[in-house]
Amino acid sequence: MTVFKARVKEFEDALAEDEIDLSYLRQLCFNGIPDVKSLRPHCWKLLLGYLGTNRESWKETLTKKRALYRQFIEELVLPPGLKEDHKLDAKSDCLNDHPLSEGAESAWNIFFNDNEFLLQIDKDVRRLCPDISFFQQPTEYPCDIVVNSNGERRLHQRVVPSVLKAANVERKGLGITKINLITKRSEETYEAMEEGQEAHWEVVQRILFLYAKLNPGQSYVQGMNEIIGPIYYVMASDPDPDYREHAEADCFFCFTALMAEMRDFFIKTLDDSEGGIKNMMKRLSQMLQERDLQIYERLKSQELHPQYYSFRWISLILSQEFPLPDVVRIWDSVFSDEQRFQFLLKICCAMILIQRDQILQNDFASNVKLLQNYPFMDVNVLLSKAVSL
């Protein structure tokens, strides 16, 4: 038996137990999850707390959660005046609510307020992982209540860019005035699918919209699209069609669980809290000072503060610094570590230390460019360095 096959068997045996030993599973996952069968999707669901360690509870949990998610779509992804029970309430709704209403409880007012963050979501998901075509491709399992709704539940249509008409007016002396009509439309990075189909980015858009609706205190913040991208990719690439069919619901709850742990990164008023982004950057700076004082002093003398490079590293869990397959591998280790954000800081510190010689030679501008556009490298070397810290 090869080493790889033996490793796969270790995972299969661990996941086959009636009561899964999460501590042992963490040890296995920390060194990378084999990209075969449904190992990674299953492990991530366990590591993020979506599934419990009792294997018998999985079926019930998944059935309940997926039904709940479908209910979210039915109730929250529908414009005012198109409620399921509109036949009963149409008359009273028209009398009590209308599109110009500014009341806090007005369904129309809520609808237009929702469109403000939906517009940002729409922009962000259309440029998700542009290096690969995955998110532009149609999903095998479009949501039936959305794609067969005559566009009523298609979120992107609520914020579709308008066609603007402009005209060039040319007139020479007392001659004929010439008007040239110009039609301008903002370019779409990712095209929306026709009725009956939807692209993966449209699914991600819906997940983020529902998350924002259900978490009004946090709502949607730019960068969340970069965090949900790898999770959805893993769930939607599950080789098992029975699980792949429910990738949207499973991704929603995994993303929600992860955001519960890192919500302080995305709430500005909590920036200075223990789990806030400013404190995380401060801890990274202290770690660097302890590990390599010369590098620390070099960056300090250049006034190259951590927020110039590590804000994005930490808040997006390095999802913008490496290709998607490498991000997935890094997340195997980050999710496996019980102090996952402490290990994330170690990875960030290792990224700086690996570029030590270059940083000591470079001037301020070159170091900013180096750290903001991190060079390609073997992530296994990076993770080994982080473990040694």
Kindly tell me if the per-residue pLDDT of 387 is higher than 90.
Answer: yes
Give the domain ranges of the chain. 57-80+107-157+188-262, 268-388
What secondary structure does DSSP assign to 273-316, as a single string? STTSHHHHHHHHHHHHHHH-HHHHHHHHHTT--GGGTHHHHHHT
Predicted pLDDT at 89: 47
Buried b / exposed e over 120-135, threshold 16 CB at 10 Å, is bbbebbbebbeeeebb
Average pLDDT across the chain, whole number:
85
Percent of the chain residues topping a pLDDT of 90? 59
Dihedral over Cα of 374, 378, 383, 384: its sign: negative
Q: What is the DSSP string of 132-183?
A: SSGGGSBPSS--HHHHTSTTTT-GGGGGPPPPEEEEEEE--TTS--EEEEEE
Q: What is the pLDDT of residue 190?
A: 65
- pLDDT at residue 100 above 60? no
Predicted TM-score of the model (pTM):
0.87
What band does 192 get if pLDDT is binned at 50, 70 and 90? confident
Question: What CATH superfamily is the domain 268-388?
Answer: Ypt/Rab-GAP domain of gyp1p, domain 3 (1.10.472.80)
Distance from the first to the final alpha carbon of the chain: 34
